[in-house]
Structure 1
Amino acid sequence: MKTLKNDPPECTGNLLAMRDTLEILGGKWKLLILHYLMTRDKQVNTFKKMQREIIGISAKMLTKELKDLEANHLVLREQLDTRPVTVQYSITEYGRSTKELIENLVNWGTSHRIKLLHGTP
């Protein structure tokens, strides 16, 4: 990333950190999946259940996003010893580190909806 002559020294590092964060958590579904798993921590969260309850996500997209989240140690995939084989997903302790970020996004989104609804600048 290119820095301008007048940029503060920490600017490049901050921008790189933000880019890394968006790379890992960006897109339409990843934060929704993490929020889903975080709020259903004591439940068995199978692929089919998640696909049914996360409205609008396709099987292909859920598969891709779960693989990405697992690769980044945010989600744990466990194959249970059942017949037929059952796979369940849970949030990792590291994945829980996104809790405050997700709560802030929910709060901001709620405030934004209210602002738009009431038309205040």
Structure 2
Amino acid sequence: MRVRRPLAVLCAIVPLALGAAACSDSSGGTVQGFRGVVLVRQINSPIQNNCQNFGPVGVSQVHNNTGVDIVLHKNLDCTDPPGQTSFYLATTLSATSAANLGLWKSFAPVGWPPPVSVN
């Protein structure tokens, strides 16, 4: 039985296209950092495993409106001062920093992004 060439090509291309779409390196949605009620910075579709910062001022509240979890840090380069720990913020949740713990200045998305945006 012979298979037509267009059908064979289609059968080879479709799985590759679906695989490429599912392996995106960014997470759809936004991460918003607030200081009080003021929006300091909004990052759209942050790149996986890439450090993003809120700026030297820092933020006291973060809304994770993406499909991946993020880790919040106290320094601009996604590190933390000695004796202080990072904060794990799951997808679609928000966090507020206690006044005595200081402000968050950066974050890094972790895990694998969903194949489609959660928004």
TM-score by length of 2: 0.33
Higher strand proportion, which one? Answer: 2
Structure whose CA Rg is larger: 2
TM-score by length of 1: 0.32
